[in-house]
A and B are shown apart, each in its own frame.
Chain A
Amino acid sequence: GNSVTQMEGPVTLSEEAFLTINCTYTATGYPSLFWYVQYPGEGLQLLLKATKADDKGSNKGFEATYRKETTSFHLEKGSVQVSDSAVYFCALTLGNTDKLIFGTGTRLQVFP
């Protein structure tokens, strides 16, 4: 079936460190891929997306590239800030369904 697998958290970093959160997927067909972020006390919000292979989504210094050959969509940021502390969810959708399929989420904690 269709699924998303994320790295276990929490990920703990110092401010200005480089961030990678791994995400791999299994899908029949050609999914669109997403990263959502949930800040403390808030709902999930879309961070970035990519709709086809080799597309790069980017927002707020975060980037992720849709890699069909490795079925991956890893989230990266060159220099994290304390304000990036949140839970990050990788997700996919396929054209024949209404639903987003999410991973379990990865908690990021950034310390000054």
Chain B
Amino acid sequence: EPEVTQTPSHQVTQMGQEVILRCVPISNHLYFYWYRQILGQKVEFLVSFYNNEISEKSEIFDDQFSVERPDGSNFTLKIRSTKLEDSAMYFCASNLAGPRTGELFFGEGSRLTVL
């Protein structure tokens, strides 16, 4: 069964360093998303991406964040200068029919620890 895969599963970084989290969405999907969950808090929407551009972003997704689909398979989230409060589990998701259906396919998550 096709699935969304994410790498790395866990990354530890120093404050101020750049981090790239990678995702391979399901191959025929058209809509891509990043969510995050800070420990003990809610899963929060970061950004949605469709047709090679951001379609919506949250207030969390400020200038230090960027997303890219560099080729036909990968979807990346870059954090330019990490802060302690960026420590969280980051989830990539994709779907075929768009966000209104609510049926997103999620990866297992990448845990980011900023020291």
Please, which residues of chain B bring their CB within 8 A of the CB of A97? 56, 99
A49 touches B102 (CB 8 A): yes
Q: A43-B4, A44-B91, A89-B43 are in contact. Are A100 and B102 (CB under 8 A)?
A: yes
Q: Which of A41, A43, A45, A91 contacts B102 (CB 8 A)?
A: A91
B105 touches A99 (CB 8 A): no
Distance (Å) between the CB of B32 and the closest chain A CB?
11
In the complex, the number of residue pairs spanning A and B with C-beta atoms less than 8 Å apart equals: 66
Q: Which residue of B lies closest to A3 (CB)?
A: B42
B102 touches A98 (CB 8 A): no
A43 touches B100 (CB 8 A): no
B106 touches A44 (CB 8 A): yes
Q: A102-B43, A105-B43 are in contact. Are A93 and B55 (CB under 8 A)?
A: no
